């Protein structure tokens, strides 16, 4: 059996890469698919797979007048988000994974998962999906190959990565590729594992069909394995959007921003400035992941390794994010949204009236006024970045863009002010390291609980969090022209639980201040926490529909809140033990001294 499959694998294979062929044969011998199909990324292939997915019920075609080229997918209701408790870093030593990751010993993990993968593709097709993370041919670009038994995964990978023949050509005969193995198995949460083997550049994912668990190029390779490689090779793999902001004078500033899952990266990356900002332009380089390395001119350069967006649907509308609405108007896969009687999609927070009747995300009839959500809170769109009306031409530039500012932002209903600037790089790393954020529906578990989420990487750092923070500190030496570091919070709430700051496009006002600070144009005011906009020459609030008191509240720093914040930060640093970087402990002492002084 095994040798027949090995032969089949190499016979049809559009490559002679011996390492790749041997690995595919070995994985096929274990999983025993009926067929092996090598994906070439062509239009014909897309059509064939789409037709098949429609036939087997994986995809529901949407109304071609309303949503040309769009489909709806309903995942298993037990499989709607990333599963952090089932995600493992498999390094020889537990300390290498660190206290913030689940750990399994590599051999034990391979043995355990082999039992699940054994024969799991009987009666199924194994797709071989070669893909590039990053522009083709780029020096920072990495190649992965995902073996999967899910046509939905193939169709998503086709949008999210540069997939197919071109990636295989870029790989050539090299053995330097990520080995990804995925099976949806029986979609049983008790038999679900997402395992990373950084030393082997390998990912094994079993038992899920959803997003970050199975589109292995994204969180698994680009962040968990990526961060591990970044430390070894002297670069940074981050959960960050990348945008370019161009002033009316034509000066473009590139900015990267880390916000945790479902905390506003896609929205910020595509923002349309308010009318007071005529002549300003925001362009998207990336909406979720940045790979950043020092460039020859001493600046930090960022690429977006992805080619599409896997974005949060609920809350997206023509007021909050018109560019996202345009992006998902065609050639988009929707996962777990509601279906309208005329074959369009609907979700909470969409423009217009709430429809009288819908089919909800689970395929059940839904009536207006129901207490149940029609779309799942973590429902997503998968859309090619080329659909984005404000896509930056640099999104396809293998050199990337020079980053002038890095922003860290969490979802905090209190404590953290609208914006502040770090005193210097070390202080900025401290701000990133001490980020907290209220949990969202992007991962299974309770929503709305504050947790420490350093640099928005808590679920994505592939090694010891203490070593990761030290790596950030060490990067200072290799970046002569350091980006300035900022902290923001769009999510502060008033007594009634309403967001104080209007957010979305109005975030341009904060962005303008950041650009002005980076370009050395505005003075600032020092506080205990960092530099903030001055009352005069500070934030441009012209035309903003907000009372002076509300602005005060959004920007306020309350010492009692900071005293409890510091306690929560202490618990986090204690968790890192001796690996808590000394420089950050000193920053902590300085902050305590300022607060107590
Ligand atoms: P991931 O794809 O999970 O990494 O998320 P993301 O960081 O790209 O988050 P996204 O931009 O998709 O936003 C998530 C949710 O936050 C959506 O429901 C948005 O409507 C909401 N949101 C985004 N920006 C703002 C903002 O400035 N203010 C408020 N109040 N909500 C926002
Ligand atoms: C996130 O959770 O941060 C996402 C969605 O971007 S997923 O791809 O599912 O990780
Ligand atoms: Mn994300």
Show the beta-strand stretches assigned E in 349-493. Answer: 357-359, 365-367, 380-384, 401-409, 419-421, 436-438, 450-452, 484-488
> Ligand 1: which atom is nearest the Cα of residue 504?
27
Query: Catalytic residue at 195?
Result: no
pLDDT higher than 60, residue 385: yes
- 284 touches 269 (CB < 8 A): yes
Distance CA 549, CA 150 (A): 53
> Are the CB atoms for 403 and 483 separated by under 8 Å?
yes
**In 3D, which of 41, 9, 7, 29 has the Cα closest to residue 168?**
41
Residue bearing the CA closest to ligand 1, atom 10: 264
Indicate whether residue 310 lines ligand 2 (CB < 6 A).
yes
Q: Transcribe 160-205 into DSSP letters.
A: HSEESHHHHHHHTT---SEEEEEE-TT--GGG-EEEEEGGGTEEEE
Residue in 525, 546, 446 with CA at minimum distance from that of residue 84: 446
Q: Is 151 in the pocket of ligand 2 (CB under 6 A)?
A: no
Check if the beta carbon of residue 405 is closer than 8 Å to that of residue 253: yes
Tell me, in angstroms, the distance from the centre of ligand 3 to residue 6's CA: 37
**259 in Cβ contact with 287 (< 8 Å):** no
- According to DSSP, the residues that pair with 359 across neighbouring strands are 339, 365
Cα–Cα distance for residue pair 193/88, rounded to 1 Å:
8
Residue of 39, 195, 263, 461 marked active site: 263
Domains of the chain: 2-57+82-233 (3.40.449.10), 238-306+392-596 (3.90.228.20), 309-387 (2.170.8.10)
Instruction: Please tell me the residue having the least CA distance from ligand 1 atom 29.
Output: 503
Overall average pLDDT of the 489-505 stretch: 97
Which position has the token pair 């036939």?
55
1 pLDDT tier (thresholds 50, 70, 90): very low
- Residue 12 pLDDT class (50, 70, 90 cuts): confident
* Mean local confidence (pLDDT), 438-454: 96
- pTM, 2 dp: 0.98
* Strand (E) or helix (H) holding 290: strand 290-294
**Nearest C-alpha to atom 9 of ligand 2 is from which residue?**
212
Mutate to test the pocket of ligand 1, among 256, 312, 508 (most ligand atoms within 8 A of CB): 312
The ligand whose atoms approach the alpha carbon of 87 most closely is 2
Mean pLDDT of 521-528: 96
Looking at residues 108-123, what average pLDDT do you find?
98
Separation of alpha carbons 473 and 250, rounded Å: 33
Rounded CA-CA distance 562/565 in Å is: 5
Q: How confident is the model at residue 9 (pLDDT cuts 50, 70, 90)?
A: low
The DSSP secondary-structure symbol of 109 reads: H
Q: At 265, which helix (H) or strand (E)?
A: helix 265-269
Instruction: Give the separation between CA 238 and CA 235, rounded to whole angstroms.
Output: 10
Q: Count the alpha carbons within 13 Å of 221 in the hemisphere toward its beta carbon.
A: 29
Tell me the pLDDT of the chain averaged across its residues.
Answer: 97
Ligand 3 centroid, distance to 97 Cα (angstroms): 21
Q: What is the pLDDT of residues 571-595, one digit of tens each?
A: 999 999 999 999 999 999 999 999 9
Distance separating the N- and C-terminal Cα atoms of the chain: 74
Return the H-helix or E-strand segment holding 281: strand 281-286
Q: What is the mean pLDDT of residues 308-322?
A: 98
**Is the CB of residue 261 below 6 angstroms from any atom belonging to ligand 1?**
yes
| Nearest atom (ligand 2) to Cα of 219 | 10
Predicted confidence (pLDDT) at residue 597 exceeds the cutoff of 90: no
- Minimum CA distance residue for ligand 1 atom 23: 264
> Is the per-residue pLDDT at 461 higher than 60?
yes
pLDDT tens across 30-48, in order?
999 999 999 999 999 999 9
Ligand 1 site, residue 499, Cβ cutoff 6 A = yes
How confident is the model over 554-566, as pLDDT tens digits?
999 999 999 999 9
In tens, the pLDDT along 291-304 reads 999 999 999 999 99
Separation of 110 CA from ligand 1 center, angstroms? 37
Residue 175 and residue 172: Cα distance in Å, rounded?
9
**C-beta of 502 in contact with ligand 1 (< 6 A):** no
User: Does the pLDDT of residue 5 top 90, yes or no?
Assistant: no
pLDDT at 316: 98
- Separation CA 195–CA 216 (nearest Å): 11
The predicted pLDDT at position 8 comes to 57
Rounded mean pLDDT of 539-547?
95
Ligand 2 near 219 CB (within 6 A) = yes
Give per-residue pLDDT as tens, 56-113.
999 999 999 999 999 999 999 999 999 999 999 999 999 999 999 999 999 999 999 9
Tell me: the pLDDT tens digits for 164-210?
Answer: 999 999 999 999 999 999 999 999 999 999 999 999 999 999 999 99
Say if ligand 1 is within 6 A of residue 347 CB: no
- Output the 3-class SS for 211-227: HHHHCCHHHHHHHHHHH
Binning pLDDT at 50, 70 and 90, where does residue 11 land? low
């Amino acid at each position: 059996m095994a040798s027949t499959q090995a032969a089949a694998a190499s016979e049809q294979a559009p490559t002679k890469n011996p390492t790749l062929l041997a690995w595919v044969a070995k994985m096929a011998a274990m999983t025993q698919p009926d067929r092996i199909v090598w994906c070439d990324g062509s239009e014909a292939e897309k059509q064939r797979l789409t037709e098949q997915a429609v036939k087997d019920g994986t995809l529901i075609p949407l109304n071609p007048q309303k949503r040309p080229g769009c489909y709806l997918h309903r995942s298993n209701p037990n499989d709607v988000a990333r599963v952090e408790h089932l995600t493992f870093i498999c390094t020889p030593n537990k300390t290498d994974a660190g206290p913030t990751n689940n750990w399994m010993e590599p051999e034990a993990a391979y043995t355990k998962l082999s039992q699940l993968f054994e024969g799991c593709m009987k009666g199924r097709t194994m797709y071989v999906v070669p893909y590039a993370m990053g522009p083709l041919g780029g020096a920072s670009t990495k190649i992965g190959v995902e073996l999967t038994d899910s046509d939905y995964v193939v169709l998503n990978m086709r949008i999210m990565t540069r997939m197919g023949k071109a990636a295989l050509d870029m790989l050539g005969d090299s053995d330097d590729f990520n080995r990804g193995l995925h099976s949806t198995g029986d979609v049983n949460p008790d038999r679900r594992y997402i395992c990373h083997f950084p030393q082997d550049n390998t990912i094994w994912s079993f038992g899920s069909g959803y997003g970050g668990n199975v589109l292995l190029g994204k969180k698994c390779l680009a962040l968990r394995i990526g961060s591990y490689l970044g430390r070894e090779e002297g670069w940074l793999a981050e959960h960050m959007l990348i945008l370019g902001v161009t002033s009316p004078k034509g000066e473009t500033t590139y900015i990267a921003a880390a916000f945790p899952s479902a905390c506003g990266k896609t929205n910020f990356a595509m923002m349309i400035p308010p009318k007071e900002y005529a002549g300003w332009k925001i362009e998207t380089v990336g909406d979720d992941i940045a790979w950043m390395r020092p460039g020859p001119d001493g600046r930090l350069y960022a690429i977006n390794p992805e080619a599409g967006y896997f974005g949060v649907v609920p809350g997206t509308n023509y007021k909050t994010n018109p560019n996202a609405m345009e992006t998902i108007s065609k050639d988009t896969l929707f996962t777990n949204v509601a279906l309208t009687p005329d074959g369009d999609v609907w979700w909470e927070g969409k423009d217009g009236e709430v429809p009288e009747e819908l089919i909800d995300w689970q395929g059940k009839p839904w009536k207006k006024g129901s207490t149940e959500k029609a779309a799942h809170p973590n429902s997503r769109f998968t859309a090619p970045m080329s659909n984005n009306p404000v896509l930056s031409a640099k999104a396809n530039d293998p050199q990337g863009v020079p980053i002038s500012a890095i922003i860290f932002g969490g979802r905090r209903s209190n404590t953290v002010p609208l914006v502040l600037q770090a005193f210097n790089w070390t202080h900025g790393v401290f701000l990133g390291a001490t980020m907290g954020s209220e949990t969202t529906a992007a991962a299974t578990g309770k929503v709305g609980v504050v947790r420490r989420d350093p640099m928005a990487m808590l679920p994505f750092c592939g090694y010891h969090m203490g070593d990761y923070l030290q790596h950030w500190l060490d990067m200072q030496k290799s970046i002569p022209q350091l980006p300035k570091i900022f902290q923001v919070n769009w999510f502060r709430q008033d007594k009634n639980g309403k967001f104080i700051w209007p957010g979305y496009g109005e975030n341009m006002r904060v962005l303008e201040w950041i650009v002005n600070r980076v370009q050395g144009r505005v003075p600032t005011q020092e506080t205990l926490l960092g530099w903030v906009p001055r009352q005069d020459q500070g934030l441009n609030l012209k035309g903003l529909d907000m009372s002076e008191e509300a602005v005060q509240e959004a920007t306020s720093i309350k010492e009692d809140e900071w005293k409890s914040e510091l306690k929560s930060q202490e618990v986090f640093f204690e968790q890192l033990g001796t690996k808590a970087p000394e420089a950050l402990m000193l920053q902590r002492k300085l902050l305590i001294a300022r607060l107590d002084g």
